[in-house]
Amino acid sequence: MSRSFCVVSIASALIGVASLTACSSVMPTAASAVPARSPQLLKTVALIMGEPNFSVDGAYQELEEGLYTQPELRNGTLVMAPLGDIVPYLGGQYRYSVAEGRVQLTLGDKTLLASVGQRNATVNGAPVILEAAVEERNGSAWVPVSSVWEAMGAFVKWDKARQRLTGAFVLPAGVKLADFARGGPVTEETLLSQKAGFYGSADGVRMADVIVGYQNADGGWPKLEKTVSLLTPVNKEALSGFRSKSTIDNDSTTKQLVALAKVHAASGKPSHQESFLRGLDYLLAAQHPSGGWQQFWPQPQGYKARITFNDDAIANVLEVLRDVAERKPEMAFVDAARVAKARDAYNKGLQLILTSQIRIDGKKTGWAAQYDELTLKPAMGRAFELPSISGDESVNVLRFLMSLPQPSSGVVDAIQSGMAWFDAAKVSGIKLIQVNDKTLEFGFDRRVVADASAPPLWARFYDLESGRPLFTSRDGVKKAAYADVSYERRVKYNWYTSAATELLTKEYPAWLARNKVAAR
């Protein structure tokens, strides 16, 4: 009888290949029978000194969500860092008890136990000596990364030239980042783009039931990956840390509310109405005294606490509140008390938009992607998103303002000032090109070249003082030009955008005509 098995080329770990699995079928003989081996994968993790991130097979994540935490290098090769966010990305389990000062880390078939202040640890009960003692910092355990990774069976390499520590882990192939059903006709990305008849169908009701099932106790919803199926119950146990917390980032919470309202309008199922009202209460409770909304609530940390326009967050919230306040048919079931609260919250949010428009030399420009929640000054998001005027988020803010019926004089002034800034801020005579190069990590590079016939572009960020395009890398240091951006950020982030083109050429002229407003 033939037997199939998979093996991993360990040599791939030594040359930094992310994964290499080979499968074959053999006819074992009595003398050479080989037991079946579980499929395995190679996962390569990297920490770069001076950057608040880690990468798994080239995909970057934050070392501690929202806190700008960077690994620390001592004595030339000793790297100390917290591993609480890394381990789940490898499919493992991580627990740190502040009260006990004890770390428990499980990857594959190995479990490491270590204690703050100690170099002595155990792996599956066997003693190991760590390169340095475990330390406690602000509620996190910092460990000597190389010796912990090696104790868990990884191949570890320190690259002095790149100041980069890598670990290659051989793990069971069944280990996943998140145990979710994926794909299918309705996913987290497509729940609002279904045909109208879907929301009254059996699948529509099923989707709404799934949405109710992963709503948090505070009434909000966590952010899921785009491919997660919403026709299969979401495994909430697969979410941990900030990935389990309620947020308005990436349309979360607001799109679940809109979907529930659509389904409830067709089916009238009480559980969908109850879930919607709890979600609405979440938005009302989460409004900051400034009138804005933070990216995460409650108990946000780091830049997650900023008032955020990023990804249309505040505009999405205001649209839901406006629909409630105006008693749109799908939301007409909302009681009068909540309608009044929604109207007040909406008015406060609109005023925040008007007061937060950035001025340079007395002239109104655009908006920042996020603002400090206390000072309402433009603030930094991720380390490569410096305080600035956003050439992307400002488009969506203006689009929201232009959606308002019977705009006030303040709204009209904000729109016209913003559009004048966009017209002045456009970058002409250049285009972005992709240059294929197999010697590079991702197989290509991006460059800016001169082209007098190219359509205008806008920078993703503009300097708050000079008004000129602003660039940086994961180190958070301003760069003079696009070419100065680090390779990974140059090819993995959009530093230019054409989003304002439709706004300037079509939407703004139509708004002027519709509202009988003269162009400036």
Q: Set out the domains of the chain in order of their start, with CATH numbers.
A: 3-172 (3.30.457.10), 178-355 (1.50.10.20), 359-520 (1.50.10.20)
The phi, psi pair for 270, rounded to 5°, reads -55, -40
Question: How does pLDDT run across 486-506, given as a tens digit for each residue?
Answer: 999 999 999 999 999 999 999
Residue 24: its pLDDT value, please?
A: 38
- Entry pTM: 0.81
CB atoms within 10 A of CB 312: 21
* Model confidence at 8: pLDDT above 70: no
Question: How does pLDDT run across 407-440, given as a tens digit for each residue?
Answer: 999 999 999 999 999 999 999 999 999 999 999 9
Taking CA atoms, 324 is separated from 17, 328, 331, 480, in Å, by 52, 6, 6, 46
* Model confidence at 116: pLDDT above 80: yes
DSSP 365: -
Taking CA atoms, 249 is separated from 265, 306, 393, 407, in Å, by 26, 12, 13, 27
How buried is 421 (Cβ within 10 angstroms: 0-12 exposed, 13-18 middle, 19+ buried)? buried
- In sequence order, the 6+-apart residues with CB closer than 8 A to the CB of 224 are 180, 188, 214, 234, 252
d(CA 396, CA 398): 5
* Model confidence at 165: pLDDT above 50: yes
The lowest-confidence range among 7-21, 365-379, 399-413, 501-515 is: 7-21
- In sequence order, the 6+-apart residues with CB closer than 8 A to the CB of 373 are 288, 290, 292, 294, 305, 306, 307
- Quickly state the pLDDT bin for 237 (edges 50, 70, 90): confident
Residue 173: its pLDDT value, please?
A: 67
* Model confidence at 225: pLDDT above 90: no
List the structure tokens of 477. Answer: 């240091």
- Quickly state the pLDDT bin for 49 (edges 50, 70, 90): very high
The lowest-confidence range among 78-82, 169-173, 318-322 is: 169-173
Question: How does pLDDT run across 339-396, given as a tens digit for each residue?
Answer: 999 999 999 999 999 999 999 999 999 999 999 999 999 999 998 999 999 999 999 9
Task: Give me the percent of the chain exceeding a pLDDT of 90.
Answer: 79
Average pLDDT, the chain: 90
Question: How does pLDDT run across 439-454, given as a tens digit for each residue?
Answer: 998 899 999 999 999 9
| Single-letter amino acid code for the residue at 7 | V
**For the chain, what is the radius of gyration of the CA atoms?**
26
- In sequence order, the 6+-apart residues with CB closer than 8 A to the CB of 251 are 311, 312, 316
Report DSSP letters for 369-400, one per residue. Answer: SEE-TTT--B---STT--S-EETTHHHHHHHH
* Average pLDDT over every residue of 36-58: 85
Residue 90: its pLDDT value, please?
A: 87
d(CA 128, CA 119): 8
Residue 443: its pLDDT value, please?
A: 94
Residue 235: its pLDDT value, please?
A: 87
* Model confidence at 7: pLDDT above 50: no
Q: By the 8 A CB rule, do 54 and 60 touch?
A: yes
Residue 408: its pLDDT value, please?
A: 96
Residue 242: its pLDDT value, please?
A: 76
- In sequence order, the 6+-apart residues with CB closer than 8 A to the CB of 156 are 146, 149, 150, 165, 166, 167, 168
Half-sphere exposure of 76 (CA within 13 A, CB side): 0
d(CA 320, CA 220): 14
Taking CA atoms, 21 is separated from 2, 169, 301, 423, in Å, by 19, 13, 40, 53
d(CA 229, CA 181): 5
Residue 238: its pLDDT value, please?
A: 76
d(CA 81, CA 71): 5
Taking CA atoms, 456 is separated from 99, 452, 459, in Å, by 57, 10, 10
- Quickly state the pLDDT bin for 184 (edges 50, 70, 90): very high
Torsion sign, CA atoms 354, 356, 357, 360:
positive
Nearest to 453 by CA among 424, 427, 429, 425: 429
d(CA 27, CA 22): 17
- Quickly state the pLDDT bin for 519 (edges 50, 70, 90): confident
Question: How does pLDDT run across 186-209, given as a tens digit for each residue?
Answer: 999 999 999 999 999 999 999 999
Helices (H) and strands (E) in the chain, counts: 13, 26
